[in-house]
Homo-oligomer: A and B are copies of this chain.
Amino acid sequence: MAENGTGMPPGHGGESLLFLTDDQLRRGIEAMFFAYRGFTADPDRILAEHAYGRAHHRALHFVHRSPGTTVNNLLNILGVTKQSLNRVLRTLIEDGLVSSKVGVKDRRERHLFLTDAGKELEKVLSEAQRKRMRAAYREAGPEAVAGFRKVLLEIMDPEMRKHFDQLKDSM
């Protein structure tokens, strides 16, 4: 036992592989768990006031991010079934936060946009979330932030990484 997870005996590897020990990895896993709770806490509180959930927030975020995106594209980004997404999208459309427009080139497709009310809520939600991230970034400093981003990129599934990189273009 006393497995260090590096596949090498402890004490070997001159480049100091101590950050790859099982204990260090376990701490990172726990940090991700606790941090994600904080990450979603502020938007969750606001959403609850509007009788919405995290699923609505995600839809608002990505429609805001890629105005005119199709339902299918959103499906791939969010990684849920169309039935799940549709339920959320339908309420957002009914409530006048999202508008759905038939495609011009391919009229089977629906292109999604935020209405003014949708932009309003998205802004409130994202500003609450950014506020916490901004404070965290400021405390941690630019180099820590660079490392943070670097590790997160590596944790992603390749397909999710692809979506993440594609969003970059429209920034």
> Count the A residues whose beta carbon is within 8 Å of the partner chain — how many?
64
A144-B142 contact, Cβ under 8 Å, with A20-B137, A135-B154: no
Complex contacts, A65 vs chain B, CB 8 Å: 26, 30
**Docked complex: A121-157 residues within 8 A CB-CB of B:** 126, 129-130, 132-157
| Residue A35, interface by CB 8 Å | yes
B149 A34 Cβ-Cβ under 8 A: no
B130 A26 Cβ-Cβ under 8 A: yes
B137 A28 Cβ-Cβ under 8 A: yes
B147 A28 Cβ-Cβ under 8 A: no
| Residue A22, interface by CB 8 Å | yes
Complex CA–CA separation, A140 to B151 (angstroms): 6
Q: Which of B151, B156, B167 contacts A137 (CB 8 A)?
A: B151
Complex contacts, A35 vs chain B, CB 8 Å: 152-153, 155-156, 160
**Docked complex: A100-117 residues within 8 A CB-CB of B:** none
A34-B151 contact, Cβ under 8 Å, with A19-B145, A23-B171, A29-B126: no
A149-B27 contact, Cβ under 8 Å, with A41-B157, A139-B154: yes
User: Given A24-B137, A37-B160, list of 19 further CB < 8 A pairs?
Assistant: A19-B137, A20-B134, A26-B65, A26-B126, A27-B149, A27-B168, A28-B149, A29-B126, A30-B164, A31-B149, A35-B156, A37-B156, A38-B157, A132-B155, A137-B151, A139-B154, A143-B147, A144-B148, A147-B151
Binding site for B on A (CB under 8 A): 5-6, 16, 19-20, 22-39, 41, 58, 61, 65, 79, 126, 129-130, 132-157, 160-161, 163-164, 167-168, 171
